[in-house]
Amino acid sequence: MSAFEAVIGLEVHAQLLTRTKIFCSCAVTVGGEPNTRTCPVCLGLPGALPVLNAEVVRLAVRAGLGTGCTVQSISVFARKNYFYPDLPKGYQITQAELPVCLDGQIVLDDGKVARIQRIHLEEDAGKSIHGDSGTRVDLNRAGTPLVEIVGHPDLRTPDEAVSYLRELRGILVTLGVCDGNMEEGSLRCDANVSIRPIGQDAFGTRVEIKNMNSFRSVRDAIAHEIGRQADVIQDGQAIRQETRLWNADLARTESMRSKEEAADYRYFPDPDLLPLHIDAAWLALQRADLPELPAARKARYQGELGLDARAANWLCEEPPRADAFDRTIADAPELASAFAPFLMTQVQAQLQRNDRPWPEVDAAMPALLRICRKWRAGQLANKMLADLLQTAFADTAQPLPDALAHAESLAGAVVSDVAALEPVIDAVLAKFPGEVAKYRAGQKQLVGFFVGQAMRQLAGKADAQAIAALLADKLDA
Ligand code: ADP
Ligand code: MG
Ligand code: ZN
C-alpha cells in the first residue's frame, strides 16, 4: 500500500451571497414554494435575455483577490450544452476559456502552498425531486450565482485536502462571498483522486468523487478512494476514469458514470452576453476594501496575542467566532492566550455535552471572559469552574449569558484565607505521616498529593496556589 502516493485536486462550488440571481432579479432563497422564484429568464423561455448582476461580479472578484488570483480584465460567458430536466434552457451559462480569475493559492495549515488554477462564474441548475409519484422539477434554484474554484492537483493526503477546503471556506466566509454551509450545499466540493507509485512523476488516471457534504465525508471519501485504487492496481487491473458518488451511509464510493458516457458540451461564447470587462481602477478599490483574511488573523493571534497554532487555527475556522473573540478581548488582550484555549476545550466540551450550537457562545463571550478572568485570578477553583459551566450550559430556560451570570452567583467564593485552610492542611499532614516523611526525604512531587487531599476536604472550592504555598511553609520548615 505504502508504495503509492495519492494526487488530489479539488473543484469547489460556492453559492454567492447575493439577494438576486445571476442573470435576472428573482430572489435567491432557500426553500420557498417550488417554482415561485422564477421568471422568463431563469425558466429559459424563448426570447428572454440575461442581464449580469453586478454584485455577482463584485463577489467573484473578492474571492479571487482573497485567494491571490489575478483578476482578468476580460472574461467571457459561454454556453455549456446538455439536456437535463432541471436545465430548462438546454445549456448552462458558465465561463470556459476565459474565466474571471486565474492563478491563485491557498496556504495549508502546515504552511504548504496549494495552487488554484482558476475561478469562474456560472449559474446553478434547478432541482429534480424524486418522489414516489415520479420526479418533479423545482426551478427556484435555477440561475443562482456560483463561483467554481478549481485547484491544481497539488494535494497529497486526505488531511491536506481538508485543510485546503477549511482554509478556502474561511476566506470565502470572511469576505462575505458565501455562507460556507456544506450541509445545505452552499459550499460543495468535488474531489479528483489518482494514485501513482512513489517516485513516479506522471499522474495516474483520476476519478472524480461527488456528493460529500461535510469535511468529514471529504476526508473519508478520499481516503476510501485511495484504498480502492490501490486494491485495483494490486489486483493487476487499471483504474477507469469515471465519476463516483460518495455513499456516506455505506462508507464507500459508487460508480456514477464513466468517461465514455461523458457528454461533449459544445461550449461556445454566449451571444446574449457581452464579454465582462473589469476596470483597473475599480479593481484597486476592491482590493483596498478587503478585510483581514484568516491567514493574517492567525499570524496576529500567534504573534501579538500569544495564542498557540492550534487555538489560532480553531478560532479562524469560523470567522464569526473569531470576530466575536476579537470584540471580546479588545479591552483585555492579556487574557487572550488563556481565553482561546478555554473556549476551545472547556466551553466546547459543554456545548457538545448539552447539544447546543456554537453561535450561542458568540453572544455569551463577554460573560465567558469574565468567568475566565476570575478563574485565572484564582477566584474560581477548577472544580468550581467546571460546575459553574455545567450548570449554566444545562440551563436552557434562559439565554446563555443570563444562565452564566446565575451560575456565577451560585458558585460562591473560593477559600483562600490562611485561617480557613490551615486546619485542613494540618489534618491532612497528620493523616499521612508516611508521605510527609517521603516528601522531606526528597520526593517533592508529593506536594500534588497533599494539595489534592486538602482540595477534597474543601469540596474543590479552595485556592490551589494558596494551599500549595501553605504546604510549602509547613513541609519545608
Ligand atoms: P476537466 O477539464 O476534465 O475538468 P481538469 O484538468 O480541469 O479536468 O482538472 C479538473 C480537476 O482535476 C482539477 O481540480 C485538477 O487539479 C484535478 N486533476 C487533474 N488531473 C488529476 C490527477 N491525475 N489526479 C488527481 N487530480 C487531478
Ligand atoms: Mg472540471
Ligand atoms: Zn428569474
The Å distance, Cα 42 to ligand 3 centre, comes to 4
99 lines ligand 1 (CB under 6 A): no
Q: Whose CA is nearest to atom 14 of ligand 1?
A: 9
135 plus 219 within the same structural domain: yes
Whether 402 and 422 share a structural domain: no
Containing structural domain, residue 353: 292-411
360 and 297 share a domain? yes
Atom of ligand 1 nearest to the CA of 153: 16
Give the list of residues 6+ apart from residue 10 with CB closer than 8 angstroms, or none. 151, 155, 161, 164, 165, 189, 190, 191, 192
3-state class (DSSP) for residue 188: strand
Q: Is the CB of 11 under 6 A from ligand 1?
A: yes
Q: Quick one: 384 and 262 in the same domain?
A: no
Ligand 2: distance of its center to the CA of 187 in Å? Answer: 16
Listing DSSP states for 49-118 in one string gives: -----HHHHHHHHHHHHHTTPEEPSEE-EEEEE---TT-TTSEEEEE-SS-SEEEEEEE-TTS-EEEEEE
Residue 209: how many other CB atoms lie within 10 Å: 26
* Closest ligand (CA of 37): 3
CA-nearest of 407, 370, 372, 377 to 389 is 407
Is residue 414 within 8 A of residue 461, CB to CB? The reply is yes
Taking only the tens place, the pLDDT of each residue in 147-164 is 999 999 999 999 999 999
- Report the separation in Å between the CA atom of 11 and the middle of ligand 2, taken as the mean of its atom positions: 7
152 in contact with ligand 1, CB cutoff 6 A: yes
- Residues 406 and 312 placed together within one structural domain of the fold: yes
Per residue in 203-260, pLDDT tens? Answer: 999 999 998 999 999 999 999 999 999 999 999 999 999 999 999 888 888 888 776 6
Mark which of 284, 302, 319 sits at the end of a domain.
284
Q: How far is 331 from 352, CA to CA, in rounded Å?
A: 29
Nearest ligand to the CA of 191 is 1
Cell of 64: 479571487
Distance from Cα 30 to the centre of ligand 2, integer Å: 26
Residues 126 and 256 in one domain: yes
Same domain, 149 and 212: yes
Query: What is the CA(168)–ligand 3 centre distance, in A?
Result: 29
Residues 225 and 280 in one domain: yes
- What is the predicted pLDDT for the residue at 1? 47
Is the domain of 387 the same as that of 245? no
How close is the Cα of 210 to the center of ligand 1, in Å?
14
Number of Cβ atoms within 10 Å of the Cβ of 74: 10
Residues 241 and 327 in one domain: no
What would you measure as the largest C-alpha separation in the chain, in angstroms?
97
Nearest CA to ligand 1 atom 6: 152
- C-beta neighbour count of 350 within 10 angstroms: 17
Cα–Cα dist 314/311, whole Å? 5
22 HSE (CA, 13 A, CB side): 25
- What pLDDT, on the 0 to 100 scale, is given for residue 205? 94
Q: What confidence score (pLDDT) does residue 49 get?
A: 96
Q: What is the CATH number of the domain that holds 460?
A: 1.10.10
Which of residues 284, 305, 331 is at a domain's end?
284
What's the half-sphere exposure (Cβ side, CA atoms, 13 Å) at 56?
A: 27
Our mutation pick for probing the ligand 1 site, out of 206, 222, 242, counting the most ligand atoms within 8 A of Cβ, is 206
Rg (CA), the chain: 29
Quick one: 273 and 301 in the same domain? no
CB of 263 within 6 A of ligand 1: the answer is no
If asked whether residues 101 and 32 sit together in one domain, one would say yes
End residue of a domain, out of 411, 437, 467: 411
Q: Which residues of the chain have pLDDT under 70?
A: 1-2, 259-262
Tally of structural domains, the chain: 3
Please report the pLDDT score of residue 428 as a whole number: 85
